[in-house]
A = this chain, B = another copy of it.
Amino acid sequence: MVSQYINRKQKLFNHELTTRLNTYEVPAKLKEAMYYSLDAGGKRLRPILMMAAFEAYSNEDEKVHDPAFALEMVHTYSLIHDDLPAMDNDDYRRGKPTSHKKFDEATAILAGDALLTTAFQVINTSAFLTAEEKVFLSRELSQAAGPEGMVAGQILDLNAENRSLSLDEINQIHLLKTGKLIRFAIRSGAYLGGATPPQLELIDEYATYLGLIFQIQDDILDVIGNEQILGKPIGSDEKSKKSTYPSILGLEGAKKNKEDLMNKAIEALTQAKVDNDLLYDFVAFLGNRDR
């Protein structure tokens, strides 16, 4: 059921992409680079989580489309900059050349800058949001993506290369680097859908667990995943001596940690009185995914 939902939303999202980008008057080369990375076949996990959280509290759905698109722009910018030679120096992502390989480094840096900035433009020019909603989204997105969130996680991650991390350190990095944006997705979806402040707090808790579950399973798949299904080689973390949940806790310990968090995520949802199956199903979907 989750996977059908995801497929449907992915199609919708990808269908809207060209139309949306065409509303902006942007130099051809820059627009091409922005489009290239946005179109590079991501899972659209963050916007889809936002939509699912929104639908847990509301029936209409126009309100959530602009923020969801903005969020995917921020995620895409972060991938373009992370892939740069000065950062992770990756030539391929999902089998396609990364932005600086397809174009050049200057274009990749500017395409990232452009996507990040346009995310705030998309939110603040939306025809479906009130001023208060725009302020909520702009404030929380900047907090989640900026130097108190994703960018902090990225610099801590870069500085952690080639040394062993404690469990606390690795939790901290992932809570910032991927967790904050996943939390933003779910929290803003619920907020836009009309969740009450106490519900939002419990949804926050759920979202924080979900981000960690996603990351732990990522690490586990790099040890025991099927390369065919995964679409990329396994064992890369061990080869680069990267600290991961399995390297710190052992494979069984990492699985146990993940299952604990899966139970806690379900518990938080139950307390938030969410009666929408989708958000429950995402826990098992992300926790047990094989790619």
Question: Do A139 and B151 have beta carbons less than 8 Å apart?
Answer: no
Measured between beta carbons, the chain B residues less than 8 angstroms from A152 are 26-27, 30
Distance in angstroms between the alpha carbons of A120 and B120 in the assembled complex: 8
A171 within 8 A of B: no
Question: Do B24 and A148 have beta carbons less than 8 Å apart?
Answer: yes
Distance in angstroms between the alpha carbons of A156 and B117 in the assembled complex: 18
Which chain A residues numbered 158 to 196 have a C-beta less than 8 Å away from chain B?
158-159
Measured between beta carbons, the chain B residues less than 8 angstroms from A135 are 124, 131, 134-135
Main SS of the interface on chain A? helix
Question: Do B139 and A125 have beta carbons less than 8 Å apart?
Answer: yes
Residues 44-62 of A, flagged 1 when their CB comes within 8 A of B and 0 if not, give 0000000000000000000
Question: Do A147 and B105 have beta carbons less than 8 Å apart?
Answer: no
Question: Do A148 and B86 have beta carbons less than 8 Å apart?
Answer: no
For the complex of A and B, the 10 pairs showing the least CB-CB separation, nearest first, are: A86-B105, A117-B146, A121-B142, A114-B147, A124-B139, A131-B131, A120-B142, A26-B147, A124-B138, A86-B106
Q: Which A residues form the contact surface with B (CB < 8 A)?
A: 24-27, 29-31, 34, 77, 81, 84, 86-87, 100, 104-107, 109-110, 112-114, 116-118, 120-121, 123-125, 131-132, 134-135, 138-139, 141-143, 145-148, 151-152, 154-156, 158-159
